Chains A and B, each alone.
Chain A
Amino acid sequence: MKSSPEDSLIELDQVTRDFGQVKVLKGISFTIRKGEYLAVTGPSGSGKSTLMNQMGLLDMPTSGHIKVKGQIIDQLSDAQVAALRSRTIGFVFQAFHLIDSRTALENVELGMLYKGLPRSERKERAIAALERVGLAHRMSAYPTTLSGGEQQRVAVARAVASDIDLLLADEPTGNLDSATTSKIMELFDQLHATGLTIALITHDLRLAKHALRNIEIADGQIVRDENHTARKEAQC
């Protein structure tokens, strides 16, 4: 809380989200700063994914405010929010959401389609991103021929191929076995080590231990917000 406002990447201020009568988020406030490695944990149905949609600008709060790099987004048009979202945040989903009819490389390139980059640059960056996630050799493979872990790596490559500020991952290992899960978690750790800000949403407390900061929510409210920098370092 002592860092300067310039470090603030995403700032939630008393964010609530109702679905009809159901109040899913009940006033959530926290700030994600540059370089953080954050895990949001909580039981199923506690509102983690709903919160991720707020942090990822995929959804608008019922009340409260969200600031991205100092800009209050409810002053922006939706087109501007979309542009800000695509430039700032990369998404990784439990279901990968790869396009089966396109190769790994094409899927990663797609992540930059709407960013106004020349095609050649998109390709260069996509190749680099696939190298980063260790999949350079499966570049022209189709998702259906890749293992679940490999598919999720492609999705991570797609998210990080352009210069995003924050990687938002909602249960990224939910569809993966434990061996593959730890590989993906290693990848996240590596990406964080290279300076990427990561927000990991998971119900699995063991995975949350990879992160340096844990926010626990229950019933739409933050019940715990702790830094574990020391413990993490001890583990290493």
Chain B
Amino acid sequence: MLKQHIAKLSHSPRNKPGDESAALDSNPAPRIEPGDAPDSETQAQASIPLSTLSFRDLLHEVRLDIISRPGRNALTALGTMVGIAVLVTTLGLSASLNAQLEARFDALTPTEITVTSTPDSYGPGDNLPADAPNRALRINGTLAATTLTEIDSTNIKTLTGTPGYNPTAANNNQLAVYAASSGIGQVIGATIKGTIFSDWHDATGQPVAVLGRLAAEQLGITNLALAPVVFINSAPLVVVGIIDQVQRNPSLLQAIIVPHGYATAHLGVKHIEKLLVETVPNGADIVGNQLGLAIRPDNPDLLNITIAPTAEQTRALITSDSQTLFIILGIISLIIGAIGIANVTLVSVMERVPEIGLRRAIGARRRHILAQFLTTSLTLGFIGGILGTETGAIITVTAALTQNWPPTMPTWVLACSPLIGALVGLTAGLPPAIKASRIQPTEALRA
């Protein structure tokens, strides 16, 4: 009787039998789907408490899953680890390379200013006063200043060194002769044997000279202890120093430098050709702006002030190029890692079909299966991410030190990489996890 009652209750069309995911197809059946929606069951049966899986239990299951297949899961994590390690290494190395380039460019940032007279209709004027170096030195940020004037070769009739017995020999070596003030050594960053002449030598026009290393070699002068002398136009000048190395103006290594005072008195120099100013790092712009007024408060326009060009643009170019390349490399290796996770997870799902069926039979909902596989692959990705970050950091430091680059690692890389690993695990694990969650218990248990 009861049977008949039920039989008459309904003959509504049914969903595809046995398919808990039936709502995923378009059959407008009376049953609620997909599987797990706890809503919209307002009938008497709504009081049935649904199956649950606490987060703690989920993590416990995932932990057991992971430790039960240590080899395979280690391999899975390894894929992500390699990908993340490549990413971290490339980002770290590019950061280190950048730091290195930056350091190098900092060394090249303009600290050098050249001041010349603005040429006018009267020819090269005498717009630079003799006290220009002192005026420049009053500006904050100036490290050193000197005048530098190349002496016209027609004014140099003869030039010879001590060992060349003939004081009247011609300037066979074609050595350039410059007039400068005492700041020249500092301005060109010279390493000097002996000394540069002093302000007093300059002011009083003393017959002294400083030789560039190559000039000294050509003149046969090597030993300052012998008080060597060079003869310019037959007049002896005592060599007080030899410039061994310079950081700027390497042409001076092949020149003879005499005090400006001597050059005006004896070598026909009538005006100062240029003023060289050396500033603190990055100080060239500020000092340069003030130089005109400091030297010629009456008419700064008479001066032509040139700051060495910057390398900013070059740096920007190198930086972005290298980084793009590195990031592409890292992403490619991450994709490879992700494919690895997806494959291993899929194999794992296929192997565990009966277990999945059993879990469904004992009450697991599709979302519980999904969550279990997703959390597992996410965890493996996360572990791989952490290990990869460590590895990448170690490789970066090692490689950077080998290259003499300052090891540099952006903080965001360290912070994000494990999360990227987790994201890779999550994404790669999603398709197999969905597949697992769709496994029908009846088919899974038939084995």
**Residues 50-92 (chain B) with a chain A CB within 8 angstroms:** 50-53, 56-57, 61, 64, 68-69
CB of B201 closer than 8 Å to a CB of A: no
**Stretch from B205-213, B302-310, B357-365 that touches the partner:** B357-365
> How far apart sit A113 and B36, CA to CA, in the bound complex (Å)?
17
Query: Least Cβ distance of B370 to chain A in Å?
Result: 13
Residue from A59, A79, A84, A112 within 8 A of B442 (CB atoms)? A59
Number of A-B contacts (CB under 8 A): 155
Residue of B nearest to A98 (CB): B358
Q: Are A87 and B3 interface neighbours, CB within 8 A?
A: no
CB of B38 closer than 8 Å to a CB of A: yes
Q: Are A95 and B447 interface neighbours, CB within 8 A?
A: yes
Chain B residues near A18 (CB-CB < 8 A): 17
> How far apart sit A139 and B117, CA to CA, in the bound complex (Å)?
100
Q: Are B18 and A65 interface neighbours, CB within 8 A?
A: no
Chain A residues near B56 (CB-CB < 8 A): 119
Chain A residues near B447 (CB-CB < 8 A): 95
A-to-B contact residues, CB < 8 Å:
5, 11, 13-14, 17-18, 29, 49, 53, 56, 58-65, 67, 71-72, 74-80, 82-87, 91, 93, 95, 97, 99, 101-102, 106, 110-116, 119, 158
> How far apart sit A11 and B9, CA to CA, in the bound complex (Å)?
15
Residue from A82, A83, A97, A114 within 8 A of B357 (CB atoms)? A97
> How far apart sit A4 and B15, CA to CA, in the bound complex (Å)?
32
> How far apart sit A68 and B100, CA to CA, in the bound complex (Å)?
75
Q: Are B37 and A79 interface neighbours, CB within 8 A?
A: yes
Residue of A nearest to B60 (CB): A119
Q: Are B358 and A101 interface neighbours, CB within 8 A?
A: no
> How far apart sit A149 and B22, CA to CA, in the bound complex (Å)?
38
Chain B residues near A101 (CB-CB < 8 A): 64, 68-69
Q: Are A58 and B48 interface neighbours, CB within 8 A?
A: no
Contact indicator per residue, chain B 374-395, by CB within 8 Å of chain A (1) or not (0): 0000000000000000000000
Chain A residues near B10 (CB-CB < 8 A): 74
Among all A-B residue pairs, the 6 with the closest Cβ atoms = A86-B363, A101-B68, A114-B363, A59-B18, A77-B32, A114-B51
Contact A82/B17 with A72-B9, A77-B33 known, Cβ cut-off 8 Å:
no
Residue from B35, B57, B354 within 8 A of A95 (CB atoms)? B354
Chain B residues near A87 (CB-CB < 8 A): 363
Residue from A71, A97, A116 within 8 A of B45 (CB atoms)? A71
Query: Least Cβ distance of B63 to chain A in Å?
Result: 12
Query: Least Cβ distance of A145 to chain B in Å?
Result: 15
> How far apart sit A98 and B398, CA to CA, in the bound complex (Å)?
49
Contact A79/B6 with A86-B51, A97-B355, A113-B53 known, Cβ cut-off 8 Å:
no
Residue of B nearest to A102 (CB): B64
> How far apart sit A62 and B14, CA to CA, in the bound complex (Å)?
7
29 A-B contacts, Cβ less than 8 Å apart? A11-B2, A14-B7, A58-B360, A63-B11, A72-B9, A74-B14, A75-B43, A76-B41, A76-B45, A77-B31, A78-B22, A78-B33, A82-B364, A82-B365, A83-B48, A84-B48, A86-B51, A91-B362, A93-B358, A95-B445, A95-B447, A97-B354, A97-B357, A102-B64, A110-B359, A114-B364, A115-B52, A119-B56, A158-B362
Chain A residues near B52 (CB-CB < 8 A): 114-116
CB of B297 closer than 8 Å to a CB of A: no
Residue of A nearest to B364 (CB): A114
B-to-A contact residues, CB < 8 Å:
2-3, 6-7, 9-11, 14-15, 17-20, 22, 30-38, 40-41, 43-46, 48-53, 56-57, 61, 64, 68-69, 354-355, 357-365, 368, 441-442, 445-447
Chain A residues near B354 (CB-CB < 8 A): 95, 97
Contact A17/B17 with A77-B32, A80-B45, A84-B48 known, Cβ cut-off 8 Å:
yes
Q: Are B17 and A83 interface neighbours, CB within 8 A?
A: no
Q: Are A83 and B363 interface neighbours, CB within 8 A?
A: yes
Query: Least Cβ distance of B404 to chain A in Å?
Result: 51
Q: Are A93 and B445 interface neighbours, CB within 8 A?
A: yes
Chain A residues near B446 (CB-CB < 8 A): 49
Query: Least Cβ distance of A11 to chain B in Å?
Result: 8
Q: Are A78 and B35 interface neighbours, CB within 8 A?
A: yes
Q: Are A56 and B361 interface neighbours, CB within 8 A?
A: yes
Chain A residues near B37 (CB-CB < 8 A): 77, 79
Q: Are A53 and B18 interface neighbours, CB within 8 A?
A: yes
Residue from A60, A67, A79 within 8 A of B18 (CB atoms)? A60
Chain B residues near A82 (CB-CB < 8 A): 20, 35, 50-51, 360, 363-365
